[in-house]
């Protein structure tokens, strides 16, 4: 509340409701006393303190991350709950990737840690600029950028490949680095596959196993984000010798199948039939 065309401010600080008492002086004119000083009041004004202005999207520079191609996605500025214009900005880094939103050419990091989707609200300040408040500190924002977390590309060349009859193939390379390890031997009766020291399911002539790229370590694992990396892929091709026997069945130990010693059961009439064991 102000008196006499703003000459006297009745409130020492802004308030939501301003109430003051005027008393009639001996001269028949209202007076107002503040800090021991009485002022004759001839005019009263209620003056609203300007909290904020109206801001426009065109005031912000939106920068696309040159590495990932991710751009800030803003909403149209709208009146907020406190009457000030506000808008939200989102950086969506896509599945399996993370990053952060940055303001003013990287001077302010809006995210405490990398996230998959970063969304923050900018509020129009009384000087007509957008502001961002973090940990009680408000910063004027003129530029917004999305920055994808640096990743390490996975390279299957570090994986040891051991085989006698057939080598592993790496197929179905995905944008995020995931691949498929394939063991295939058209001449095999049974083919087995070992990822590091763990046997995979056996197949007749072909086995496919997905290997997941860990962008933090640059190595592959058999489970997404599993800490233990794949160190070896081994194809085990079991080809039973084509020998002729009469009656019954016999067991042969094979050491030339690309795996440690395995056991194939060969039937005299039908030839090789089942894989008994293949292990380290």
pLDDT at residue 260 above 70?
no
Same domain? For 176 and 132 the reply is no
pLDDT value at position 111?
A: 93
- Among 221, 223, 195, 226, smallest CA distance to 208 is for 195
Confidence of residue 79 (pLDDT cuts 50, 70, 90): confident
Same domain? For 106 and 164 the reply is no
Q: Of the candidates 148, 170, 192, which is a domain's last residue?
A: 148
Q: Of the candidates 223, 238, 253, which is a domain's last residue?
A: 238
Same domain? For 18 and 62 the reply is no
pLDDT value at position 263?
A: 42
Q: Of the candidates 118, 148, 178, which is a domain's last residue?
A: 148
Q: Which residue has the tokens 């989102």?
A: 90
Q: How many domains does the chain have?
A: 3
Same domain? For 80 and 143 the reply is yes
pLDDT value at position 275?
A: 36
Same domain? For 29 and 103 the reply is no
Q: CB-based contacts of 243: which residues, under 8 Å, 6+ apart?
A: 266
Asked if the structure places residue 75 within a domain, the reply is yes
Distance, CA of 60 to CA of 56 (rounded, Å): 8
- Average pLDDT (87-105) is 88
Take residue 65 and report the two structure tokens written for it: 């991350």
Is residue 127 packed enough to be buried (19+ CB in 10 Å), middle (13-18) or exposed (0-12)?
Answer: exposed
Same domain? For 82 and 129 the reply is yes
Whether residue 71 contacts residue 65, with contact meaning beta carbons closer than 8 Å, is answered with yes
Same domain? For 76 and 9 the reply is no
Asked if the structure places residue 185 within a domain, the reply is yes
- Average pLDDT (12-41) is 88
Asked if the structure places residue 260 within a domain, the reply is no
- With a pLDDT cut of 70, the percent of the chain lying above it is 70
Distance, CA of 270 to CA of 228 (rounded, Å): 42
pLDDT at residue 82 above 60?
yes
The length of the chain is: 280
Show the domain range for 163: 156-238
Lowest pLDDT segment from 4-13, 197-206, 257-266: 257-266
Take residue 10 and report the two structure tokens written for it: 């009745």
What is the phi-psi region of residue 270: left when phi exceeds 0, alpha when psi lies from -120 to 50, beta otherwise? alpha
- Among 227, 231, 222, 276, smallest CA distance to 250 is for 276
Asked if the structure places residue 269 within a domain, the reply is no
Asked if the structure places residue 51 within a domain, the reply is no
Same domain? For 38 and 7 the reply is yes
Asked if the structure places residue 243 within a domain, the reply is no
Same domain? For 68 and 144 the reply is yes
Asked if the structure places residue 251 within a domain, the reply is no
Same domain? For 63 and 142 the reply is yes
Q: Which residue has the tokens 């019954």?
A: 248
Same domain? For 37 and 107 the reply is no
Name the range with the highest mean pLDDT among 49-53, 58-62, 187-191, 234-238.
58-62
Same domain? For 113 and 133 the reply is yes
Asked if the structure places residue 277 within a domain, the reply is no
pLDDT value at position 66?
A: 87
- Average pLDDT (223-229) is 84
Q: CB-based contacts of 8: which residues, under 8 Å, 6+ apart?
A: 2, 32, 34, 39, 41
Take residue 13 and report the two structure tokens written for it: 């600080």
pLDDT value at position 248?
A: 43
Neighbouring-strand partners of residue 53? none
């Amino acid at each position: 509340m102000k008196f006499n065309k703003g000459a006297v401010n009745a409130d020492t600080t802004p308030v939501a409701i301003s109430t003051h008492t005027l008393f009639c002086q001996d001269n028949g004119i209202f007076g107002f006393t503040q800090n021991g000083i009485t002022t004759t009041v001839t005019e009263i004004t209620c003056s609203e303190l300007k909290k904020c202005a109206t801001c426009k999207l065109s005031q912000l520079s939106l920068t696309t991350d040159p590495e990932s191609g991710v751009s800030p996605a803003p909403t149209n500025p709208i009146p907020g709950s406190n009457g000030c214009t506000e808008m939200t900005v989102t950086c969506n880094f896509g599945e399996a990737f993370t990053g952060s939103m940055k303001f003013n050419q990287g001077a302010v990091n809006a995210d405490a840690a990398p996230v998959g989707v970063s969304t923050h609200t900018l509020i129009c300040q009384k000087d007509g600029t957008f502001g961002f408040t973090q940990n009680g500190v408000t910063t004027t924002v003129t530029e917004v950028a999305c920055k994808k977390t640096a990743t390490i590309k996975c390279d299957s060349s570090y994986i040891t490949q051991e085989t006698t009859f057939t080598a592993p193939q790496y197929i179905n390379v995905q944008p995020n680095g995931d691949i498929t390890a394939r063991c295939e031997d058209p001449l095999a009766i049974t083919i087995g596959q070992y990822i590091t020291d763990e046997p995979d399911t056996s197949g007749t002539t072909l086995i496919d196993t997905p290997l997941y790229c860990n962008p933090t370590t640059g190595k592959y694992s058999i489970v997404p984000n599993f800490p233990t990396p794949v160190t070896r892929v081994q194809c085990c091709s079991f080809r039973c010798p084509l020998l002729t026997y009469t009656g019954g069945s016999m067991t042969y130990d094979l050491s030339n199948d690309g795996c440690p010693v395995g056991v194939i059961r060969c039937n005299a009439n039908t030839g090789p039939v089942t894989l008994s064991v293949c292990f380290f």
